[in-house]
Amino acid sequence: MAGKESGLRMEPFLWTLFSAGGVLAAFLIPVHLFLWGLAFPLGWLKAPGYESATALLAHPIVRIYLLLLCSLPLFHWAHRFRYTLYDGLQIKHLNEVINFCCYGGALLGTAVAGYLLWRIP
Amino acid sequence: MKSSGGAPGYTLNHPRWYRTPVSTYWWLGQWTYLKFVLRELTSIFVAFFVVTTLLQLRALYHGPQAYADFQKWLKNPAVIALNAVSFCFVVYHTVTWFALAPRAMAVRVRGKRVPEPLIIAANYAAWLAVSGIVAWFLLGG
């Protein structure tokens, strides 16, 4: 029962992360995806070379920006995907596994982003 | 349950609710349901974007050769197609998110609620501005 209660207390916090990630995803992902996924590979625009990409990463603000851009949208995904699995596939009885995979995935992604952004020269 | 003096206990009446079983494909029945499920599914493409961004950061971490290889991988037609689909879903996320924004935060100016279309328009304007700034940085300022 203790687990259930702490789960309830976590809910507002997780919802805040979901909402913050939703805002970041809505404002920022389309432009990133358009440039890196379409405009650069199709040659419409010139992709930054290795030197200019690392030069951008030299600014700590860019690293913090990228950490947030990776982390918060993952928590947004975790929250939405969890409910999609509950309602869409009607597998609410598996909720412990689902929660572990969704929020675990978001935490793992955040850790990987943090590690890479810390280590990139 | 309380039994006193050895009297036989009795079974509590436990009503069994009847619930009409819902098909796993309930969301295909109506356009509004389908739109809802599509909106929720945008999250998968959001996650996919983050994964490719992490791969890109890993390539940058490994050096110029890995970075060049990653750019080549992005040119793979299958990857471009996947990114095109992702882009549509993410824009759908943006549109639905902005449509809900005025309901999530009721902005008041001098005690009067700012009309919903105005808040939505402000969101779109901000989106345009932010996208412009990001593109300006990535295209080398």
Least CB–CB distance from A50: residue in B64, B91, B137: B64
Angle between helices B77-104 and B31-62 (to 10 degrees): 120
Cβ distance B67 to B59 under 8 Å?
A: yes
CA distance B85 to B128: 21
Query: Which portions of chain B are predicted below pLDDT 50?
Result: 1-3
Kindly provide the ipTM of the predicted complex, given to two decimals.
Answer: 0.91
In words, the CATH class of domain A2-119 is mainly alpha
Domain borders along chain B are 28-86
CA distance A74 to A77: 5
Is B84 in the A-facing interface, judged by CB distances under 8 Å?
yes
CA distance B126 to A33: 18
Partner A, chain B 111-130, Cβ-Cβ below 8 Å: 126-127, 130
Q: Which tokens go with B121?
A: 């328009």
Predicted local confidence at residue B3, as pLDDT? 47
Give the distance from residue A3's alpha carbon to the nearest chain B alpha carbon, in angstroms. 27
Least CB–CB distance from B83: residue in A31, A37, A50: A37
Q: In this predicted model, what pLDDT tens digit does every residue of A108-117 receive, in sequence order? A: 999 999 999 9
DSSP string, B3-58: --TTPPP-PPP------PPPPTTGGGS-HHHHHHHHHHHHHHHHHHHHHHHHHHHH
Predicted local confidence at residue B7, as pLDDT? 64
Residue of A nearest to B25 (CA): A88
pLDDT band at A1 (very low <50, low <70, confident <90, very high): very low
Q: In this predicted model, what pLDDT tens digit does every residue of A71-104 receive, in sequence order? A: 999 999 999 999 888 877 777 778 888 999 999 9
Cβ of A38 and B131 within 8 Å? no
Cβ distance A23 to A67 under 8 Å?
A: no
Closest C-alpha to A115, from A82, A72, A67: A67
Q: Which tokens go with A104?
A: 């675990």
Cα separation values, B74 from A35, A36, A84, B14, B69, Å = 11, 8, 29, 60, 9
Query: Which residues on chain B are in Cβ contact (under 8 Å) with A25?
Result: 46, 90, 93-94, 97
CA distance B54 to A81: 20
Cβ of A30 and B91 within 8 Å? yes
Which stretch, A1-10, A15-24, B23-32, B110-119, has highest mean pLDDT? A15-24
CA distance B46 to B93: 9
Predicted local confidence at residue B105, as pLDDT? 76
pTM: 0.86
